Structure 1
Amino acid sequence: MSDALDDAPRHLPFVLGVIGDSGSGKSTVSRGVRELIGPGRVSTLDLDDYHRYTRAERQELQLTALNPMVHNLSLMQEHLQLLRRGRPVRNRKYDHTDGTFGPMATLEPEEVVLVRGLLGFPTEELRSCYDLTVFLYPEPDLLFRWKLRRDTKSRGYSEAEVLKNIARHLLDSKLYVLPQADRADLVVRYEAPDWEAPDTEVRTSLILRRAAADAVRNDGIHGRFGEHVRLEEQEGDDGGLVIRVENTLPAELVDAWGAERFPDTYEGARFGLYQDEEGGEGHLAPLAFTQILIADLTQKLRRPAAPAPQAQPEPVRVD
């Protein structure tokens, strides 16, 4: 008797890239997406592990971590291709505490491989290694504020050290990091109405392209959030779609959507969490919305594995 699992559809690992500048919210967004999908179903690949040099060596060479020269992009591409086929990879781990490398470690691909870093798809060849590419894109003043807050309140840097670091990174960010937004399937734009506006007044726009846009058009999201979420078609050849999420979005509407999409993992109090202005923990409904949308797209865009070749019957011999 055949096992029922033999008839179940099989899927290859789904490679999701969450990419953005330093301080753009990659860890915050990724944490929610991982918890929604289920931590046991997600492997996390940190692209800082593909640095060629230690922090001290980069400083000696006068290169920032945003420069492609300090990343082993060929090894990154090879590993992404292997993970996408369900194969494990081995690499040394980068230690952020002192900027050095630790021992080699093996990463086994689970159902979803969540890739997080600064330079995930600086070329079209690398972009093709992903099933869904997300780029986080706060406006410059907002990125400055978030990075300053994170590095002083969570990483122990002085304000002077952070300001110096930001100044060194500005050109490389413009040259190498920000152009990745043009290749992404989903760009998350954050804009503040003015410099002094609190995070609760930040406006969020989600720009979707290609299959990601089609998946959202077809899932009935339009209208369920009323005036708080608006869908706008974009002109152009890529069939883009823009979702504008107002900061007035009620948490209870997001909670209902999250519980519907992820009944086994969604708990409203655990999503949309971020580091607030005082360094404590705050909650933003648009952030929870974004986390749910990315996790939902990850489920919708899965790639079925090719069926195993069937054994051919032995030819009948006729003497």
Structure 2
Amino acid sequence: MSREYPIIAVTGSSGAGTTTVEAAFERMFTRQGIQAAFVHGDSFHKYTRDQLAQILAENPQQSDSLSHFAVEANLLDKLELLFHEYAAKGTGTYRHYIHAEDKDMLEAGYQVGTFTPWQPLPENTDLLLYEGLHGGLVTQEYNIAHYVDLLVGVAPSVNLEWIQKIDRDTKMRGYSQEAVIDTILGRMTDYVRYILPQFSRTHINFQRVPTVDTSNPFEQHEVPSDAESFVVIRFRESQRIDFPYLLAMIQDSFMSRPHTLVIPGAKMSLAMEMILGPLVQDLLDNRRFR
């Protein structure tokens, strides 16, 4: 899809590692002088952390049916409108959700689990980068994926995904391990209904697979290192990818299927930039003239 204002979406579950891909894009944008508008999916949650906790406390029966994965807990009409407006005019409205690691926001007086006011996107950007839960969502009411020019999925093996979420939320966000496990279990229906189907719509999936035992992800684990994993990279349109070049440049990589490249985990950042850089440039080269 060729647009004057391209949209790239990085989609994946909580704890999957989507921020790693976002960081790779940021490095590319800086190196190539690309001005990007950055939007995070949690900014479109419907409730603050306290509001959601109160709703669940007053309605315990909703604990298994209302999560941040669910359509009902997000302002997906606003997200779809943002994508529509940006694709058409390079404009739109967004806000920030405050996490415990957002030190600048906390110093400015915001509370964890709340939002900044809605504000216009920066002007004169070359593209929009979305990172979050719903970049490839399609339901009867919403078609977020329709507006996305490059959809990237981050889907580690599910045990690794849970280990990473437990590690992040206990160390960086102050939750107990039991609370994180309860959240994972409470979101399972929405995970299957809304998150997993998106990975069949992505242009590229990055799936990190550990080479160490993660049989019980709910035990206390250290997150397997990059050196203790492989990354399986699946391409929907493999004819656009120069596989011989990637195999030559990424040591110890191999093809497991005609559309699937496997690389050592430590080479993930290199592979992302080698793969995604040309695709981003194609989006920019194929834009309509402003």
**What's the TM-score bracket when you normalise by the shorter of the two chains?**
0.7 to 0.9
Residue of 85, 88, 103 corresponding to 2:117: 103
| Deviation sequence 1:42-68 (CA, Å, 0-9, x none) | 210112122222223333153110111
CA RMSD between the two structures: 2.6
Structure-2 separation of matches of 1:82 and 1:203 = 39
In structure 2, the residue matched to 1:70 is 73
Give the CA deviation at 1:158.
2.3
Aligned to 2:241: 216
Q: Of 234, 239, 242, which aligns to 1:207? A: 234
**Would you say 1:161 and 2:174 are equivalent positions?**
no
Residue in 2 aligned with 1:119? 134
**Does 1:37 pair with 2:29?**
yes
Query: Unpaired runs of 5+ in structure 1?
Result: 1-9, 235-240, 248-283, 309-319
Query: Within 2, Cα distance between the matches of 1:298 and 1:170?
Result: 33
Provide the aligned length of Structure 1 versus Structure 2.
Answer: 254
Structure number with the higher strand fraction is 1
Are 1:185 and 2:203 matched, yes or no? yes
CA 1:222/1:290 → structure 2, altered by over 3 Å: closer, same or farther? closer
What CA distance in whole angstroms lies between the structure 2 residues aligned with 1:49 and 1:179? 22
Structure 1 segment 20-59 matched on structure 2, within 5 A: 20-38=12-30, 41-59=35-53
What code does the residue aligned with 1:67 have? A
Which SS does the other structure have where 1:16 is aligned? strand
Distance 1:149 1:226 in 2: 29
Distance 1:205 1:80, change over 3 A: same
TM-score, normalization: structure 2? 0.78
- Secondary structure at the aligned position of 1:138 is classed as coil
What's the secondary structure of 2:166's corresponding residue?
A: helix
* Closer/same/farther in 2, CA of residues 35 and 307 from structure 1, 3 Å limit: closer
State whether structure 2 residue 94 is matched by structure 1 residue 91: yes
Quick check: 2:24–2:269 contact (8 Å CA) kept in 1? Answer: no
Q: 2:46–2:73: 8 Å Cα contact kept in structure 1? A: yes
One-letter code of the match for 1:126?
Answer: I
1:134 corresponds in structure 2 to 152
2: CA distance, partners of 1:107 / 1:194: 43
Per mean C-alpha deviation after superposition, the further-off stretch among 71-80 and 285-294 is 285-294
Q: Which has the higher contact order (CA 8 A, sep 6+)?
A: 2
In 1: Cα distance, 2:164 partner to 2:289 partner: 47
1:145-168 residue CA offsets vs partner (Å, 9 max, x unmatched): 111111122222222222222222
Give the aligned residue type for 1:102.
Answer: T
* Contact kept? 1:14, 1:298, Cα under 8 Å: no
What TM-score do the two structures reach when normalised by structure 1? Answer: 0.71
2:288 and 2:224 map into 1 onto residues whose CA distance is 49
The question of whether the paired residues in 2 share the 8 Å contact of 1:16 and 1:133 is answered with: yes
CA distance in 1, matches of 2:130, 2:289: 27
Query: Is the Cα–Cα contact under 8 Å of residues 4 and 289 in structure 2 kept in the other structure?
Result: no
> Partner of 1:250 in structure 2?
none
Q: 1:103 to 1:16 in 2, by over 3 A?
A: same
Partner residue in 1 for 2:213? 195
Inter-partner Cα distance in structure 1 for 2:37 and 2:95: 16
Structure 1 pair 303/77, CA: closer, same or farther in 2 (3 Å)? farther
Identity rate, percent:
22
Q: Give the corresponding residue for 1:256.
A: none
Cross-structure match for 2:6:
14
